[in-house]
Every structure is written in structure tokens, then in C-alpha cells.
Amino acid sequence: MTSLAALFILVFLLSGLLAYISGSTLLRKYFVLGSARPYSVQEGLRLGESESIEFKRSVSFDRQNSVEQALQTFVAFLNSGDGTMFIGVEDDQTIRGVPVETPQEKDQLAQKIYHVARQRIRPSPVIQVDFPEANGQTICRIFVPRGEEPLYYLDGAIYVRYGPTDIKAPPEIVKKILLEYAL
């Protein structure tokens, strides 16, 4: 009889622990991703470049360095916290726009961005691309919410935001991210 009671208590405690772990994971994903939203162009211009806002004059898929810098920022946002990148805005906040006018051109640019992100970032990220208007110019806005996974890699390298810049994460920052994610 006592072994049956002990077994019941053990099963009860294990099921409670599993419910707590799965519930906290579900709630973390719901509240973190559910409240995530991109900055508007006006908010981005008002706040300026920061840990969560990045301006790029353009991204050229013909120049590897241009794509590399954008992907480093995506990974840094995925590892550090929600971020919004505005393509077509200079670092000094001058709006230049991107050369897309038709829905087909916008779709082609968005598909290139999705494709290169899925191809080079592991695990595969979730990003949102849209094209708001500002001062008569079309801006490419890319929203990168903090990823669900503890760490994201660009070709094996881990990047994080450090103020308004992206840096390769030193071991102590990687350890901190993993500890924060585990809690």
C-alpha cells in the first residue's frame, strides 16, 4: 500500500513539473511573440538607431558585403531582442527610399530577403517584410522578432546588438543569453 502511495505521489510531482515547464514555455512564447510589433517609420526616425532600430541606405544582392551586414543585423535582433530594419533610410535619418514601385517589385524584393535569410541563418528565422510610405518614398521595413530558439547563427557565427551596432558575441554574452533563456 505504501509503495502505491509513493508511486502516486511521484507521478503527481512529475506531471506537475512537466505541466509547469510546458506551461512556462508556452506562456513565454505567447507573451514575447504576441506583444512584438515593428516600429513605424515615424517612430524609427524619432528614436534613431538603437539596439532595436537599424537604418540601411540600401541592400544590394549583387554585393556580398551589403547582404552580409543585413544578415548580421537579423541574427543580432534574433539573439538580442525584437528589432526593425529600415532599408531606404540613411544613418542620418534622411529618407532615400527603395526603387520598388509595383506590387511585383515589392514581392520580388521581399522574396529575396526571405530566401537569403532562410538560406544562411540557422535555425531558420521568422521575419516580416513590408513597404510603408514616408515622405513620398517607399521604405522596406523588416521586422525581426526575438527568436524562439536560444541562439541563432549566421554561417556558424553568433551576433548580438551592442547599442546601435552588431558584434560577434563573446563567450560571456553567449553564456548570459543561454542562462536567460533557460529561466
Question: Which pLDDT tens digit goes with each residue over 47-88?
Answer: 999 999 999 999 888 787 889 999 999 999 999 999 999 999
As a whole number of angstroms, the distance between CA 74 and CA 72 comes to 5
DSSP-assigned letter for residue 88: T
Shared domain for 21 and 106, answered yes or no, is no
Q: Checking phi first, is residue 97 left (phi over 0); if not, alpha (psi -120 to 50) or beta?
A: left
Shared domain for 76 and 23, answered yes or no, is no
Question: Which pLDDT tens digit goes with each residue over 145-157?
Answer: 998 999 999 999 9
Residue 65: predicted pLDDT: 83
Read off the pTM. Answer: 0.79
Q: Any idea what the CATH number is for the domain that residue 116 is in?
A: 3.30.950.30
Q: How many domains does the chain have?
A: 2
